Structure 1
Amino acid sequence: MLGLTQQHLANLIGVTYQQAHKYERGTNRVSAGRLYEIAEVLGVDVSYFYDGMEESESAIPARQRVCLDLARNFTRITNERHQNAVSQLCRTLADEA
């Protein structure tokens, strides 16, 4: 959502691109210390990574996929007016819920 590439994030936390990729894919576990570093780089509290854990496990992956897809596509929009329009559309739809 911040528009960081895996390479940029890897550089910020002091690991290789391959290691950051393994963290993202779940191939390698993230230690508590590394999770803290990642949270600091992203400007979030460590608890951010645990938000929504009380939801049913079957609902989490599908919702996360949709959110990640939305975030990736949003960051690919280069026109600022279009980004603002999409953002306003999301706010409007959320208010209707």
Structure 2
Amino acid sequence: MAHKVDIHVGKRIRQRRWLTGMTQQRLAEMVGIKFQQIQKYETGANRVSASRLWDIADALEVPVAFFFEGLKEDGAAPSDNSVPDDLLSDKEAMDLVRSYYAMPENQRRRLFELARVLSDVA
């Protein structure tokens, strides 16, 4: 059974890779491994070594700490009742985030404000 930290790190790898529009194949090539290994990392089936995580962080242009953001001291994922636990695996939510960051900053601010107003009304 996969450890919850390995699952969290794998989800963060998948999230960042997906947000940048990178395929598993491309990430694997950049890191020097087979894409099947990336699949195993992303599901938490295989644990990522420190040096491999360093290489993945470099390829995805994030600090290594990015992969651990959101973990509690006990290694548990955060529990925010307003956001589903499986948000990172929700393709629609990830499409929305990618589209959001593809917009110019002034449009993002306006959309963000609209979303805040609409959520306050709900």
Residue 37 in structure 1 maps to residue 58 in structure 2: no
Corresponding residue for residue 66 of structure 1: 87
State how far apart, in whole Å, the 2-side matches of 1:94 and 1:44 are. 28
Q: Structure 2: which 5+ residue stretches go unaligned?
A: 1-18
- Structure number with the bigger relative contact order (C-alpha 8 A, sep ≥ 6) is 2
**1:43-72 deviation digits (Å, cap 9, x = unpaired):** 111111111112863627x44x3245322x
Distance 1:67 1:19, change over 3 A: closer
Letter in 2 for 1:57: A
Shift, 1:3, TM fit: 0.6
Letter in 1 for 2:24: Q
Corresponding residue for residue 103 of structure 2: 84
Q: Structure 1: which 5+ residue stretches go unaligned?
A: 78-82
Contact kept in structure 1, 2:28 and 2:34, CA below 8 Å: yes
What CA RMSD, in Å, does the superposition of the two structures yield over aligned residues? 3.4
Corresponding residue for residue 80 of structure 1: none
Question: How many equivalent pairs are there?
Answer: 89
SS in structure 2 opposite 1:59? coil
Distance 1:74 1:57, change over 3 A: closer
Corresponding residue for residue 11 of structure 1: 29
Residue 57 in structure 1 maps to residue 77 in structure 2: yes
TM-score normalised by L of structure 2: 0.57
TM-score normalised by L of structure 1: 0.69
State how far apart, in whole Å, the 1-side matches of 2:43 and 2:35 are. 12
